[in-house]
Amino acid sequence: MAELKNDRFLRALMRQPVDCTPVWMMRQAGRYLPEYRASRSQAGDFLSLCKNPDFACEVTLQPLERFPLDAAILFSDILTIPDAMGLGLYFETGEGPRFRKIIRSEADIAALPVPDARADLDYVMDCVSTIRSALNGRVPLIGFSGSPWTLATYMVEGGSSKDFRHVKAMMYDTPELMHALLDKLAQSVTRYLNEQIRSGAQAVQIFDTWGGNLSDRAYREFSLAYMDRIVQGLIREHEGRTVPVILFTKGGGQWLELMAATGADALGIDWTTDIGNARQRVGQRVALQGNMDPCVLYANPQRIREEVATILQSFGHHPGHVFNLGHGIHQFVEPEHARVFVEAVHELSAAYHQ
């Protein structure tokens, strides 16, 4: 593999000195870019884009051609694992992801296989290796997965949900069934991320999109415990270098100390948590990633720069900050505003690293 030319993202995750704060954006390859929309149209649909290594590589690199980002993230979807378990993932226009088979019973859970990540998700691994080769050491490649709780939510609800009626009913009414499902998912995610690392991912992130909708006790038992298990099972060194692990629970600012105790290298935080307060709470145990409200990118360039400056000042003169949005970039953002954001992070952060 080519030598890494820009490693400030990996260095920041390990709380090592950098020349300026590294930055990338969740969903940086996506619908706000006209070139992405063209590629998706050419591929036919979203899943075809994900499952074709050449298209997935093309869209992964598109934002790097526009902006001086410090990392690339694999173009894929968090629901690849349930799809490989035989649930039949498809996307309804305007409705988001759906499954042809829904998990509701003990028999449903017992019938679920733990996928062989290399054989059953080979297209993902082909995408990872293709992208890593195309990057040629330009920036590191991030692999990712959904958390067990988040995957279970989609599998039990059958798609997106506003009230989480079925998944929370299972959790409270038959917790043993929920634990059986989460156990299979934790095994699956661990194997999946380890295979991504073997295929070329240089850091991995676990997206716990729906953990923030749980009560304190339920979060600890049904989300955090399984992410902890995954962290313990991950390959932490590959190609002679540490492979950092990032945990991100959207709406999870109240659990940062518990998340840090898993042994993850970094925690993602959304915009509802002040990053300076978060840093005081976790100290030097972990790096922090975040946390600008994506909606700031609808504002004028000067306002975007001001918000970047505010977050940098809040974090202060400390190692271990990866700048990001607090969640994915929105599809109606002007690409030029994303450029202002990325360039402002590099320009305004340099003074914090002297």
Catalytic residues: 27, 31, 40, 77, 154
Q: Is 196 in contact with 128 (CB distance < 8 Å)?
A: yes
Q: Does an H or E element contain 342, and which?
A: helix 335-349
- Asked if residue 321 belongs to a known ligand binding site, the reply is no
- Asked if residue 30 belongs to a known ligand binding site, the reply is yes
- Asked if residue 120 belongs to a known ligand binding site, the reply is no
- Asked if residue 327 belongs to a known ligand binding site, the reply is yes
Plot region of 158 (φ>0 → left; ψ -120 to 50 → alpha; else → beta):
left
By the 10 Å C-beta count (0-12 exposed, 13-18 middle, 19+ buried), 300 is classed as: exposed
Q: Is 246 in contact with 203 (CB distance < 8 Å)?
A: yes
User: Which residues 6+ apart lie within 8 Å of 49 measured at CB?
Assistant: 39, 40, 43, 55, 56, 59, 75
- With b meaning 16 or more CB within 10 Å and e meaning fewer, what string describes 113-133? ebbebeebbbbbbbbbbbbbe
- Asked if residue 154 belongs to a known ligand binding site, the reply is yes
- Asked if residue 274 belongs to a known ligand binding site, the reply is no
Q: To which residue do tokens 């661990």 refer?
A: 190
User: Which residues 6+ apart lie within 8 Å of 350 measured at CB?
Assistant: 19, 20
- Asked if residue 77 belongs to a known ligand binding site, the reply is yes
**Cα 254 from chain centre:** 19
- Asked if residue 44 belongs to a known ligand binding site, the reply is no
Q: Is 271 in contact with 292 (CB distance < 8 Å)?
A: yes
Q: Is 290 in contact with 326 (CB distance < 8 Å)?
A: yes
What distance in Å separates the CA atoms of residue 126 and residue 52, rounded to the nearest whole number? 9
Q: Which residues are annotated as a binding site for substrate?
A: 27-31, 77, 154, 209, 327
Q: Which residues are annotated as a binding site?
A: 27-31, 77, 154, 209, 327
